Structure 1
Amino acid sequence: MSIFDTLIRRTYWRPKAPAQTRRQMMRVMVFAKATEVRDNSLPPTAEAFAAMDRFTEELVKAGVFIAAAGLQNSAQAKRIILDGPGHTVIDGPFAETRELVAGFSIWEVRDMDEAMAWAKRAPKFMSGKSEMEIRPFYEAADLAEFLTPEKLSTPREGERGKLGVA
C-alpha cells in the first residue's frame, strides 16, 4: 500500500454527541485550493504527508475532524456542464486553476473563528502560495423554512445526509 493509499483510505471514527448538543456546533468544509504549480506538480513528499498526518491527529484529538481527502490533479478530472436537457463533458486538464480544489476536510467547530484558527495551523503541502476556503454547511436551523428539525435529525434508511444535513 502506498503512502497515498494510507492518506486517502485512513478513516477516523468518533461517536457523535446527541443531536441537542451537536446543534451548538457548526460543520464546515475546508477546501485546499489548487494553484497552477500544485495542479501540474508531482504528489506531495513523504514529509508533507507526515506533517498533514500530525495535523489531522491534532484535529481528531480536539474532536474537530470528521473527514478529509486529497484530490488528484485536473488531468484526471472531468467537468459536466448541464444546460437544460443537454450536457457537455470536458476532459481535464483545465487551463484555469482559480477554481480547482486540491483537497478537502470537514470539521465540526464552535464557530467560524475556531475554523479559521485551525486553518491557520495547517501545514503547507507544496512550495509557493497556498489558499484555503472555509464554508459552513446548511444545518437544520437553516432549513427550518422547508423542513422541521425533527424531520431532518431523524434520517430514514438510505436518507442520511439528505439536503446536506447530517
Structure 2
Amino acid sequence: MRFMVIVKATPESEKPGAVPDPKGIEEMNKHIDELMAAGVLVGYDGLHPSSKGARVKFSGSNRIITDGPFAETKELIAGFMILRVNSLEEAIGWVKRMPFCGGDEGEVEIRQVFEPEDFASNFNEEEIEQERQIRAQLAEQATRK
C-alpha cells in the first residue's frame, strides 16, 4: 500500500525564497537515502511558498481564482513524499525518523493512497485493469523524462 506523507507549511517555509538551511537539507538527504535503500520511497518533492501559487474554487460552473499568498499556514503544504509500505504503522515509523526542516515545530499528515483494487466494489474487473494500465503508463512516462 502507498501512503502520502504531507509536510505542513510553517511560517518559515512560507517566507519568499525560503529553503531549508544546508544542515537541514543534509539531514533530509540522509533520510531520503535510508528510504531509498529500504525500497519504500516512491517519490518526494518540496513546494514553493504559497505566494507563488493560486487556488481555484469551484462553485457550480464558476471558477474563482485566488492568487497566493494564503494566510492560514496550518492549511498549507510545504512538501510531500509517497511511501510504499505494508501498513500505516510502518509509514508512521518512517515519518518519526524524518528530520523536520520547517523550523522547531511542525506537523506531518499521513494519508493512504487509493489503489485500483480499492474500487473493486464499485467497478468491474475490466475497469480496474484499465486503471492499472493508466498507472503503468504514467510510471513509464516518468522514467523516460
**Interval containing the TM-score (normalised by the shorter chain):** 0.7 to 0.9
* Structure 1 residue aligned with 2:91: 115
Q: Deviations over 1:37-95 (max 9, x none)?
A: 32126211122111111101100111100000000001101000011111110000011
Distance 1:65 1:117, change over 3 A: same
* Structure 1 residue aligned with 2:29: 53
Q: Deviations over 1:90-110 (max 9, x none)?
A: 000011112100000000001
CA RMSD of aligned residues (A): 1.9
The answer to whether the Cα contact below 8 Å between 1:44 and 1:125 also exists between their aligned partners in 2 is yes
**Structure 2: how far apart are the matches of 1:149 and 1:102?**
37
Q: Does 2:11 match 1:36?
A: yes
State the number of aligned residues. Answer: 135
Query: Which structure has more helix as a fraction of its residues?
Result: 2
Indicate the structure whose relative CO is greater, using CA pairs within 8 Å and at least 6 residues apart: 2
Q: Does 2:69 match 1:93?
A: yes
Moved more, 109-118 or 142-151: 142-151
Calculate the TM-score normalised by the size of structure 2.
0.85
**Structure 1 stretches lacking a partner, 5+ long:** 1-25
Q: Does 2:69 match 1:102?
A: no
**Structure 2: how far apart are the matches of 1:151 and 1:91?**
38
The answer to whether the Cα contact below 8 Å between 1:30 and 1:104 also exists between their aligned partners in 2 is yes
Distance 1:160 1:30, change over 3 A: same
* Structure 2 residue aligned with 1:4: none
Sequence identity, in percent?
36
**Structure 2: how far apart are the matches of 1:106 and 1:50?**
20
**Structure 2 stretches lacking a partner, 5+ long:** 138-145
Moved more, 112-121 or 41-50: 41-50
Q: Secondary structure at the match of 1:29?
A: strand
The answer to whether the Cα contact below 8 Å between 2:45 and 2:79 also exists between their aligned partners in 1 is yes
Calculate the TM-score normalised by the size of structure 1.
0.75
1:13-162 equivalences in 2 (<5 Å) = 26-40=1-15, 42-148=18-124, 151-153=127-129, 155-156=132-133, 159-160=134-135
Distance 1:89 1:45, change over 3 A: same
